Amino acid sequence: MKMEDIARLAGVSKSAVSIAFSGKPGIGPETRERILKIAKDHGYMPKPRTHAAEAGSRTLTFLVFANSGIVLEQYYQQPFFRELIHYIEERCKFRGFSLLFSTIEMNKLGEQIRSIADEKRSDGVILLGTNLDRAQIAEIADLLPLPLVVLDNCYDTLPVHFVEINNMIGAYQAGSHLCRSGHTRIGYIASDVRIHNFEERRNGFAYALREHGVELAEDCTFTVAPTILSSQESLKRQLGEHLEAGKPLPSAFFCECDYIAISAIKTLTEMGYRIPEDVSVVGFDNISEASIVTPELTTVHTEKEQMAHLAVDLLVQSIASEDTVNTKVKVDTQLVERRSTRIVGDPLQ
């Protein structure tokens, strides 16, 4: 049997079969599982690539729970994760490691974690923790007999290595920027999917407003889907109801991520508002799309390259050392001012 035969039986392309065997992202977990099952049932053994088959080769696994919260099945196409993966791959090569990708389902957590351990293909695991809660991370750490670093999340009471964004300071920077720009009625557009990062951002933003004597009114808080770049009817409806109740529209909005901010800009524009003349908008993450949307988005820049380097380096150090002391790293952010915000009363903007 050849790869072409596997592809025909699975109803996919030959390249999809190659992706399934290599462990790289590019296909969904169900498709990958179907391809591997067909290969196993027909006794097909993929030929190992030379660099992976060399004696003494070292490999790290990038582990993701997709279709859970904000992490979609095609997570590698989401701008934030796409950039993060790029930097992780670069750092792995620099440190002399190859990188495998493994996507597993939450309802098969135990079975698939044990499978990763039994295959003995990996020296350590970087777990994308964005969409995982404390109990889930604790269970994974307990089941996984390999060095582990959790990326893009942190729970202080778990004895696990973590590398995360300093979400508090990032949202604090955004809130301070809007207050210093003269905004006193500020709205908040939250994700309708709640994760650790978003809760930290809300806390940091509220802290900045309190420090400047500005109150975040509950009637100025709206919720939307966090992974849609187009305008959203749900936001349009919420804003419409707000206005119909005789309440003024906030002069500025902070959005929990750039996806939400870009969606908000498009929604507000469709409603006849000018950005930033009528409403200022600030995002979070500084994805590549933030600099090409019209107007360019003021946002909080997250150091994705530094996060990736720290995660890989910490895992490599953990593999090489018998030290059992765990490390928790927060990476600070920077505000990037672009054209989606303005100073209140400034006629030049």
pLDDT tens for residues 123-163?
Answer: 999 999 998 999 999 999 998 989 999 999 999 999 999 99
Q: Are the C-beta atoms of 277 and 292 separated by less than 8 Å?
A: no
What does the alpha-carbon distance between residue 260 and residue 225 come to, in Å, rounded to a whole number?
7
pLDDT over threshold 60, residue 49: no
Determine the average pLDDT of the residues in 186-200. Answer: 95
Across the beta sheet with 148-151, what order do the strands follow? 98-104, 59-65, 124-128, 148-151, 161-165, 328-331
Q: What is the pTM of this model?
A: 0.81
Strongest mean pLDDT among 50-59, 98-107, 119-128, 285-294: 285-294
What does the alpha-carbon distance between residue 112 and residue 195 come to, in Å, rounded to a whole number?
23
pLDDT at 51: 41
What does the alpha-carbon distance between residue 333 and residue 213 come to, in Å, rounded to a whole number?
23
pLDDT over threshold 90, residue 270: yes
Mean per-residue pLDDT over the chain, rounded: 88
* Per-residue model confidence as pLDDT tens digits over 212-251: 999 888 889 999 999 888 999 999 999 999 999 999 999 9
Determine the average pLDDT of the residues in 61-73. Answer: 79
pLDDT at 47: 53
Domains in the chain: boundaries: 3-165+305-332, 167-302
pLDDT at 52: 40
In terms of phi and psi (left: phi > 0; alpha: psi -120 to 50; beta: otherwise), the region of 110 is alpha
Q: Which pLDDT band, with edges at 50, 70 and 90, does 280 fall under?
A: very high
Q: Which CATH class is domain 3-165+305-332?
A: alpha beta
What does the alpha-carbon distance between residue 46 and residue 292 come to, in Å, rounded to a whole number?
42
**3-165+305-332 and 167-302: identical CATH topology:** yes
Fold of domain 167-302: Rossmann fold (3.40.50)
